[in-house]
């Protein structure tokens, strides 16, 4: 009987990117966005410390590349304590190499070397079983808040679904949208990131906001890399600041999603950070300046239970209270009703996943992992 060839694991080098794209194209998904857009892969998986490496693990069988695990960089905030972390992405093994154990070996190596917290958003049933076997805590649905934009674009969009939507969905959203925020406090203003000093955000993040919550470490470096320097999408980063002294006190990130070949748009909210007054001012800004006449709906995937009353006051509803799920992937438009599951793992010495997931201050969003990109 021939001896089974062992698997070698290592971090992806810049010289490996062409081979990775070939593996994605031939064994993962033909015409995947990571293949179509040459700038997206090196941006998404930039290594936080080494310019000659990418934040992805590779499995080789001899000279053959047979497995890949991407690790989207982004440290974890544990009430002001900064912890190395990453989000898993594009985890797969080439057909014919499944029996080598490369998939599990890649994830174990990530647990050893990629950080003390690993997260994942969206996985198939097989990956879910492997995550669970290796100590991840799974959750079936990442909470999604949705709000009506304009009724006509919403009805036009949903009318083209191959599976009809119940009419009460639109009525439920319209009723919730009758909730309208009061005018924002006069002592606060909302401005673009470009007119503020990024160090002002870092100060309020480190000194005030981070110690009161847990989730992604949202310093200026992360906001700039993840949103402002995105190679595909045009994100708007808006800051709430005090009029009296110009101190930054809150942050919001959103973008407008065009639907190829269609007149409707979707407004996607990615980050919303601050106290009650700041969040209300930011939501007022969102709904008065970014909500256009062609906006079908607004959505926001976020685990924070502390934001719930402020989102409800602005006309948002939890999607799980609606009679059906709205589309959540738009390039191309996909009408499959799929919730966004997640998984979380923590190393020894860090609070356990169950403890973190039960904390109402846990703040994880779709934009922090690999779930806001063309599909």
| 167-176 and 151-159 helices, crossing angle to 10° | 160
Which tokens sit at 282? Answer: 């930011």
Task: For residue 272, give both structure tokens.
Answer: 């919303």
Please give the structure tokens belonging to residue 362: 């846990």
Return the exposure string of 300-317: e unless at least 16 CB atoms fall within 10 Å of the residue's CB, then b: bbbbbebbeebbebbbbb
Q: Could you read off the pLDDT of 248-261 as tens digits, one per residue?
A: 999 999 999 999 89
pLDDT at 3: 42
> 258 has which bridge partners?
265
- When the candidates are 3.40.630.30, 3.90.1640.10, 3.30.379.10, 2.60.40.10, the CATH number that belongs to 144-338 is 3.40.630.30
Note the pLDDT of residue 243: 97
> What residues of the chain score a pLDDT lower than 70?
1-5
Burial 88-126 (b: 16+ CB within 10 A, else e): bbbbbbbeebeebebbebbbebbbeebbbbbbbbbbeee
pLDDT digits (tens, 9 = 90+) for 287-303: 999 999 999 999 999 99
Q: What architecture is the 8-139 domain classified under in CATH?
A: 3-Layer(aba) Sandwich (3.40)
Stated pTM of the model: 0.95
Q: What whole-number distance in Å separates Cα of residue 192 and Cα of residue 51?
A: 30
CATH 3.40.630.30 placement within the chain? 8-139, 144-338
Per-residue pLDDT, 297: 98
pLDDT of residue 334: 93
The pLDDT value given to residue 164: 96
How are strands ordered across the β-sheet holding 53-61? 8-13, 53-61, 64-73, 85-93, 117-121, 342-346, 137-139
Which pLDDT score, from 0 to 100, does residue 48 have?
84
pLDDT at site 4: 54
Burial of 349 (0-12, 13-18, 19+ CB in 10 A): exposed
Q: Residues 149, 174: contact at Cβ < 8 Å? A: no
């Amino acid at each position: 009987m021939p001896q089974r060839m062992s698997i070698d694991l290592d971090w992806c080098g810049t010289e490996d990117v062409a081979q990775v794209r070939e593996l994605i194209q031939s064994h993962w998904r033909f015409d995947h966005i990571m293949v179509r857009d040459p700038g997206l892969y090196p941006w998404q998986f930039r290594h936080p410390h080494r310019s000659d490496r990418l934040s992805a693990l590779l499995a080789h069988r001899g000279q053959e590349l047979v497995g890949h695990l991407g690790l989207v960089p982004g440290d974890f905030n544990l009430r002001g304590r900064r912890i190395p972390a990453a989000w898993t992405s594009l985890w797969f093994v080439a057909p014919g190499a499944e029996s080598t154990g490369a998939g599990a070996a890649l994830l174990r190596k990530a647990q050893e070397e990629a950080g003390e917290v690993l997260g994942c958003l969206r996985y198939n049933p097989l990956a879910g079983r492997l995550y669970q076997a290796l100590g991840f805590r799974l959750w079936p649905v990442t909470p999604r808040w949705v709000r009506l934009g304009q009724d006509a674009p919403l009805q036009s969009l949903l009318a083209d679904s191959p599976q009809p939507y119940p009419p009460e969905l639109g009525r439920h959203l319209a009723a919730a949208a009758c909730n309208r925020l009061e005018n924002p406090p006069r002592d606060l203003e909302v401005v673009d990131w470009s007119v503020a000093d990024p160090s002002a955000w870092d100060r309020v993040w480190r000194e005030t906001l981070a110690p009161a919550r847990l989730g992604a470490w949202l310093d200026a470096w992360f906001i700039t890399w993840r949103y402002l320097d995105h190679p595909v999408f045009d994100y708007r980063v808006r800051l709430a600041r005090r009029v009296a002294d110009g101190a930054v006190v809150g942050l919001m990130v959103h973008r407008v999603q065009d639907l190829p070949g269609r007149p409707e748009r979707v407004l996607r909210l990615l980050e919303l950070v601050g106290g009650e007054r700041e969040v209300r001012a930011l939501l007022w800004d969102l709904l008065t300046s970014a909500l256009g006449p062609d906006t079908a709906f607004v959505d926001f995937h976020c685990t924070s239970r502390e934001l719930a009353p402020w989102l409800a006051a602005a006309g948002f509803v939890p999607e799980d209270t609606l009679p059906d799920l709205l589309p959540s992937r738009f390039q191309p438009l996909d009408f499959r009703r799929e919730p966004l599951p997640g998984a979380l793992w923590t190393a020894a010495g860090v609070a356990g996943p169950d403890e973190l997931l039960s904390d109402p201050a846990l703040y994880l969003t779709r934009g922090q992992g690999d779930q806001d990109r063309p599909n």
